Structures are given as C-alpha cells and as structure tokens.
C-alpha cells in the first residue's frame, strides 16, 4: 500500500488541508481499475470505517500477490467539511464559505479534458480544488464508488440507468436493500464521472457504458458507524472487487433481490406543518396505500392538534429523518414504490 497526500492550500493565511490517498498497484494492466472514496459529506462515516477494514484485507492480499487491478482509496474525502463545526455541531454537507453542497457543482467535462481539472489550480478556492482533485483521481479509474449515508436509512444506492443491470453485482455483493435508478442529470460527483464518460467524444452522448461504473452508495444511516457493520461492508466491497477481477480470491455468487426503481417512483413524505413527529412505521417496513406513517403534533394539548400522514401508495420505507421537531415542508421519509409518484420532481437529485 502506497500512502500519499494531496496538499490543498487553505483560502486564508496559515491553513492547509491534507488529503491522504491510499493506492494498491495491480499486477495486470488490463484489469479494471477502481476508485473508492467516502465521507464527501464530511459527517457520513460508515464508508470511512468500512474502508479502514477493507484496506486491512487489501494489504493482506497485496502480500500474497492478490491485487490484480489498480485500487485507489480516499477514506475521508472532505477534510474541509470535517473541520466545519459551529456551536458544537458539524456542518459537513454544505461549504460554509460558498454555501454549496460538497456533492454538487463538480465540473461537467469530457474525459478527453481530464488533465485540465488539475491545471491552474491556484485559480480556485480550496473547496473547488478539492473537487477537481477528487474528480481527476476518479476519472483515472473504470469503476468509481462514492460512499455516503442517509439519515436513518436502509442500505441503498443511486445508480445511473447507463450502468444497470450490470451493477446488480455490486448491489448483491454489498447486500443492498434497494437501488434507485437515476437519469444521470446533475453535478453530483458520481454523475460528473458518468458525464465525462458519456461525452468522451464531445457532442456525442453514449447511453450505455459497458465495463464502467459510477455510483453513490448510501451505507445506511449516519449513526450506523459500528464495528460489525463496517466489517460486513468491507467484506461486501471485497466481494465486489473479486467479482470484477480486481482482487483474486474465492467468493460465493449472490444475487440482488431488492427493488430497483426509477427516482420518479420515490415518494417523499413531507410535513404539511411544523411540530413534533411521531413515527408509526420504521425503515425497512413495507407499507400499503393509506397506512398511517406518522403523526405531526402541531398544537400539543389542543383538540385536533395532530395531523396524520398516510402512505400515498404501497412501497418500502427506505429512510426516515432523525429529527423529531420537523418544519413545514421538511422531508420525513423516502419510500421506494412500484409506481411513479404523482408529486412533481425536478430533474436530477432527490435532495439539495
């Protein structure tokens, strides 16, 4: 394992960021290359701890000559966000200086222009430098996994339709409970990678990308940082690397049996008013149309001071907010359903 650091000068005197990059060199130059990062939203650590254990296994494999394709791992992709603690609370999703989501505004370029990502880096503030460096590394690989997590959540992934159903091997290896098929139109990291491949020949859009993969994996909820889950996920990532011929080893073939639905089939349950939320149903449960999912206590103690919220259609509860004081229009749940939601959705990502 080779460990190096990308140095990112801070935007104010006296600050510098350091981004450790772990590399395992494969012995077969024809094998697929993989890039895996975690915690781009700085407080999302299930992937970081899974990669800790995966690297242990990869070092063992390396000592036995078992690394076939090049592997690049960035276990903690966002040192800038990780330092943004205000009033005792981490803000790892948005860059406080520019008010942008750390997982949006990645440059949408053709892979033919990959080298330009790291030219003239001094022209960019630290957050943009970080994004350009991460995207540059990812575009050196064939397979790209961006490990995130949700709030209270099952394990699921956002996968561009261009990679489906080939990517079912990843869903099976990690034992995912659902897959959301996206249309690939945003500036999120995973979609910027896909964009670069689709427009390899500028002006010509490829709709299938065989042999390639770029996904956002939601490794359950933000509090699911746990030694048993981390080792299970490390095992899952290992299985995927073996399946794709990047590491050599034995794995039992498994199949993905969960739902794979388009983003349009995700119902987002929103609070019609603010108040204290009482959830009647939990993540992982299948619900029927009309089931009471939550009650918002809007005027405690007063007659009629609660509002019941019902399932708009049958589906599997993927996520739930961990907040119990919720705001008007706040997202409470994501439900993966069999049919498209009647609620209108902006193209691109489900959330800001």
Residues engaged in binding Zn ion (CB under 5 A): 41, 44, 148
Q: Where are the beta strands (DSSP E) in the chain?
A: 2-9, 16-24, 34-38, 71-74, 85-86, 89-90, 143-150, 152-153, 155-160, 178-182, 213-221, 260-262, 266-270, 275-279, 286-287, 292-297, 306-310, 315-320, 325-326, 331-337
Nearer to Zn ion, 47 or 184 (CB): 47
Q: What's the CA gap between 131 and 149, in Å, rounded?
A: 19
Nearer to Zn ion, 42 or 126 (CB): 42
CB 222 → Zn ion: shortest distance, Å?
Answer: 9
Nearer to Zn ion, 330 or 340 (CB): 330
Cα 60 from chain centre: 27
CB 248 → Zn ion: shortest distance, Å?
Answer: 32
DSSP 265-306: GEEEEE-SS-EEEEESS-TT-EE-TT-EEEEEESSTTSTT-E
3-state secondary structure of 86: strand
Nearer to Zn ion, 149 or 246 (CB): 149
CB 41 → Zn ion: shortest distance, Å?
Answer: 3
Nearer to Zn ion, 41 or 198 (CB): 41
DSSP 310-329: E-SS-EEEEEE-S-SEE-TT
Nearer to Zn ion, 26 or 75 (CB): 75
Nearer to Zn ion, 44 or 190 (CB): 44
CB 102 → Zn ion: shortest distance, Å?
Answer: 8
CB 315 → Zn ion: shortest distance, Å?
Answer: 22
CB 289 → Zn ion: shortest distance, Å?
Answer: 30
Q: Which of 311, 257, 235, 323 is nearest to 280 (CA)?
A: 311
Calculate Rg over the CA atoms of the chain: 21
CB 148 → Zn ion: shortest distance, Å?
Answer: 3
- Contact between 223 and 39 under an 8 Å Cβ cutoff? The reply is no
Between vectors from CA 149 to CA 71 and to CA 309, what angle results, nearest 5°? Answer: 155
CB 215 → Zn ion: shortest distance, Å?
Answer: 13
């Amino acid at each position: 394992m080779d460990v190096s650091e990308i140095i990112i000068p801070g935007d104010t005197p006296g600050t510098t960021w350091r981004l450790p990059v772990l590399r395992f060199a494969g012995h077969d130059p024809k094998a697929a290359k993989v890039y895996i990062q975690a915690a781009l939203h700085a407080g999302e650590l299930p992937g970081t701890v899974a990669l800790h254990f995966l690297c242990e296994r990869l070092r063992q494999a390396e000592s036995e000559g078992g690394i076939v394709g090049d592997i690049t791992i960035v276990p903690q992709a966002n040192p800038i966000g990780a330092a943004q603690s205000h009033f005792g609370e981490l803000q790892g999703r948005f860059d406080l200086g520019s008010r942008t989501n750390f997982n949006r505004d990645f440059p949408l370029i053709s892979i033919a222009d990959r080298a330009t990502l790291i030219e003239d880096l001094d022209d960019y503030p630290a957050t943009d430098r970080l994004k350009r460096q991460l995207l540059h590394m990812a575009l050196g690989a064939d397979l790209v996994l961006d490990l995130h997590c949700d709030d209270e959540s099952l394990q699921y992934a956002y996968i561009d339709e261009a990679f489906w159903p080939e990517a079912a091997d990843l869903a099976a290896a990690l034992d995912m409970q659902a897959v959301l098929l996206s249309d690939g139109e945003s500036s999120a990291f995973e979609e910027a990678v896909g964009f670069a491949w689709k427009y390899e020949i500028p002006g010509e859009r490829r709709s299938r990308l065989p042999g390639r993969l770029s996904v956002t994996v939601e490794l359950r909820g933000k509090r699911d940082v746990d030694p048993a889950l981390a080792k299970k996920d490390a095992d899952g990532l290992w299985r995927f690397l073996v399946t794709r011929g990047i590491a050599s080893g034995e794995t039992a073939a498994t199949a993905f049996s969960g739902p794979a639905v388009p983003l349009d089939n995700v119902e987002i349950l929103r609070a019609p008013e603010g108040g204290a939320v009482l959830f009647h149903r939990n993540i992982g449960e299948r619900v029927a149309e009309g089931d009471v999912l939550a009650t918002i206590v809007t005027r405690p103690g007063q007659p009629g001071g609660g509002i019941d919220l019902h399932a708009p259609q049958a589906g599997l509860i993927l996520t739930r907010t961990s907040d119990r004081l919720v705001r008007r229009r706040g997202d409470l749940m994501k439900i993966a359903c069999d049919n498209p939601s009647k609620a209108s959705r902006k193209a691109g990502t489900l959330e800001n």
